[in-house]
Amino acid sequence: MQEQVQEVINKLRPFLLRDGGDVELIDVDDNGVVMLRLMGACGNCPSSTITLKAGIERALMAEVPGITEIEQVF
């Protein structure tokens, strides 16, 4: 599952890089919880929660079966 999550993140990465940010996959646990760290401009952007929930979470849940939640790690 971790490999599938990384593939989706790699597809989304160019959009984050364009805005001066990036995302790092920390872990995917056995319950389908994905832990991500937003970096660069995304790390302290007021819209980072929206980026995480509306963008990254939606894409991961649509493309990777078994994902239940996305958590941001600081």
Q: In the numeric block, which tokens belong to residue 46?
A: 């007021």
Q: Which residue ranges form the domains of the chain, and what is each CATH number?
A: 2-72 (3.30.300.130)
Mean pLDDT rounded to a whole number for the chain: 91
Phi and psi for 69 in degrees, rounded to 5?
Answer: -160, 155
Report the share of the chain in percent with pLDDT over 90. Answer: 70
Q: Which amino acid is at 7?
A: E
Mean pLDDT lowest for which of 32-36, 52-56, 63-67?
52-56
Higher pLDDT, 49 or 36: 36
